Structure 1
Amino acid sequence: MMKALTAFVAVTVLTQATPAGASVGFETASAPVPGDKPLAVTIWYPAAAPERPTPLGLYTQSVATGAPVVGHGHPLIVISHGTGGSNADHYDTARALAAAGFIVAAPTHTGDTVGDRSRSLRITERPAQLSRVIDYMTHDWRGRDAVDAGKVGAFGFSSGGFTVLGAIGGEPDMALAVRHCAEHPHFFDCALQRQFGAASQTSNPTPPAPVEHDPRIKAAVAAAPALGFTFAPGGLAKVTVPVQLWRAEWDTVLPQPYYAQVVHDLLPKAEYHVVPAADHFDFMAPCSAALAKAVPMICADNIDRAAFHKTFNAAVVRFFEKTLR
């Protein structure tokens, strides 16, 4: 399998074009949400200032913090992390996009982060949060004049993959989760339901929020999307934008054929990648020593994650170059 991965990398790796002297700028911001807490947003963008090693969660990234945004007409990519995740989970993909001339904004989803799981089951609220970030980046962010509001893409992993599929027109049937968990009680999403469901139950439980669609999103990447089965049989019929779909061959968190495979069956024209020997968390940034020590489960790789991410990030950049430029 390692030989297969090596071949996969060799065949598909792309050279990422970066203008001479270009660097990646970085900052954090707060996007207002009417009637709710503001969203913490992490932003990467094209810059021309020296980069320095900068902590981000349990990682260290090379960025030019607070540097001016250079250029104009940059497409915007919003990133949605997985359940219980953080703004650092896909920092390397964000840097690759920013180095290629995109502006990238990653919200930390309220109530579904590593430090706050109070809304982990309210997944249908997440697409609306992406829309609030797009509002902020195109109307209120200090660099808004550098954003091309007509060229917006979305990237999501796991629950974030579900999020972007909803944002581009997907209509999930959340009632299907009851049958799914009756048949597969030991699956990760069903364990999550048991872990956080009891605390959220009341005599009059709140129904799932309607999924908010955002026609400003013109292309989407979904890596190992969660709850793919909730879109069957016709929940993705309204999706018309280009989609790049990724699946880990040996995904032990969201196993075949209930998640990414369902999405592929419903979107047969999507650009589809199956990563040999990979597991679920291989779509997250290569682990730092600190992360491997803190959460070893996320870092137990069957593949060379750093080598894979050279391919993965280049393919994501290529897809958005093709669909948004």
Structure 2
Amino acid sequence: MKTISLLRAVLISATGVLFCLVADVGAVGFQHVTAPDPEGAPLEVGIWYPSTATPVVLRTRTVSQTVAADAPVDGETLPLIVISHGTGGSYLGHYDTAIALAEAGFVVAAVTHTGDNYADQSRSLFILERPRHISRVIDYMLSGWSGHERIDAQKIGMFGFSAGGFTTLVSIGGRPDMAKIAPFCETHKTDFACQLIARNRDVLSTAAAAPPARDGAKDGRIKAVVVAAPAIGFTFSPGGLHDVTMPVQLWRAEDDVILPHPSYAEAVRLALPKPPEYHVVPNAGHFDFLAPCNEALAARVPEICSSAPGFDRRAFHASMNQAVVEFFRRTLNAGG
């Protein structure tokens, strides 16, 4: 087992608070687009990619990043990574990881999930809709995006955190047993998923009636994945991940009180038919997987930005992002 750190699953409240973050970056291009979803509203997508254009400081909502907006793409046959955020987040939640990947030669597309984001949580219980969003983003990146000809369609990976980790596992063939949630919550009332359900009992019956993960939920184009603090990981045991044979890098925060051990990441580790590359992050909490906050945001929402005494989120992200880049380089044969 490898030891590093993990970051916490994100719940950004309906007050519309977003991440105020700052990063030092190199020559990375950035675009903000929408991708069509024939079964729902258009999907908001942030795209980071290699570019030789001169970057400038760009403020996107409350996130500041040094990028070259709408710049030309540099390179050919580039690998693609798609990112799925946690409950109540947005495409910006892991922007520092996206930048690190783009600096390393990857194209990165991060989606804002319809109905489960910082501005709209009306469908946060409809978690099985999320894999469709990922497939529609991949469709767009391979055919509709202005730089689609620069992408190698045989080299696609995925990064998912919290609810996005669950999304990732379903997208690669995981079959969760959602009937396990109700009895689990009878004895785990303080767990995040159980509190989310308790706050949304008015839509619970509708969500429960939604179709289970269908055969079409798996997207065979995804070849390797990074999963951080996966939500409702216990729904995959004992055999729900039997068909997942691709490389998996799995992260767990040692002191995650949002998705506490051993019902989430550990349950996923035990259910995988092949041992993942497993990282347990000492002294880390759930929200430490989000990009580091600046001082203004830390003062405004300390519950998201605060870390345990002695835990350096910036240093952790530097090491985590390096591990993520190296994993995708190796498993997607992406060079670098």
Q: TM-score, normalised by structure 1?
A: 0.91
Matched with 1:25 is 29
Structure 1 contact 58–291 (Cα < 8 Å) conserved: no
Kindly provide the CA deviation profile for residues 132-172 of structure 1, in whole angstroms up to 9, marking residues without a partner as x: 00000001100001100111000000000000011011000
Other structure's SS at 1:94 match: helix
Partner amino acid, structure 1, of 2:315: A
Q: 3-state SS of the aligned residue for 1:282?
A: helix
Q: Which residue of 2 aligns with 1:254?
A: 259
1:301 aligns with 2:307: yes
1:22 is displaced (CA, Å) by 6.3
**Matched residue of 1:43: which SS?**
strand
What CA deviation, in whole Å up to 9, does each residue of 1:257-315 have, x standing for no partner?
10000011112510000000000011110112232233221111111000000000000
Residue number among 150, 174, 185 corresponding to 1:170 in the alignment: 174
Q: CA deviation at 1:198?
A: 1.8
**8 Å Cα contact 2:170/2:213 also seen in 1:** no
C-alpha separation in 1, matches of 2:277 and 2:163: 20
Quick one: which amino acid aligns to residue 322 of structure 2? A
* Structure 1 position 205, deviation (Å): 5.7
Conserved 8 A contact 1:254-1:280: yes
Cα contact 1:82–1:158 (8 A) shared by 2: yes
**1:52 corresponding residue in structure 2:** 56
Query: Is this contact kept in 2: 1:57–1:88, CA < 8 A?
Result: no
* Structure of higher RCO (CA pairs closer than 8 Å, 6+ residues apart): 2
Structure 1 residue 183 displacement after superposition:
1.0
Structure-2 separation of matches of 1:165 and 1:251: 20
What CA distance in whole angstroms lies between the structure 2 residues aligned with 1:177 and 1:200? 12
Give the Cα separation in 1 of the matches to 2:296 and 2:113: 23
Q: Which amino acid aligns with 2:58?
A: T
Query: Which range moves more in the overlay, 264-273 or 105-114?
Result: 264-273
Whole-angstrom CA distance in 2 between matches of 1:181 and 1:295 = 27
Alignment length (residue pairs):
307
Of all paired residues, the percent bearing the same amino acid is: 54
- Alpha-carbon distance, 1:209 to partner: 4.4
TM-score (norm 2): 0.88
Structure 2: tracts of 5 or more residues without a match: 6-24
Runs of 4+ in 1 over 4 A off after TM superposition: none
Is 1:226 matched with 2:231?
yes
Alignment match, 2:245 = 240
Q: 2:276 aligns with which of 270, 278, 281?
A: 270
| 1:63 counterpart (63, 67, 91) | 67
Counterpart residue number, 1:290: 296
Task: Say yes or no: does 1:132 pair with 2:136.
Answer: yes
Asked if 1 retains the 8 angstrom alpha-carbon contact of 2:4 and 2:280, the reply is no
Whether 2:328 is the aligned partner of 1:323: answer no
The 1-side partners of 2:156 and 2:303 are apart by: 33
Runs (5+) with no aligned partner, structure 1? 1-6, 10-20
Structure 1 counterpart SS, 2:39 = coil
Check 1:159–1:149 CA distance in 2 against 1; reply closer, same or farther (3 A cut). Answer: same
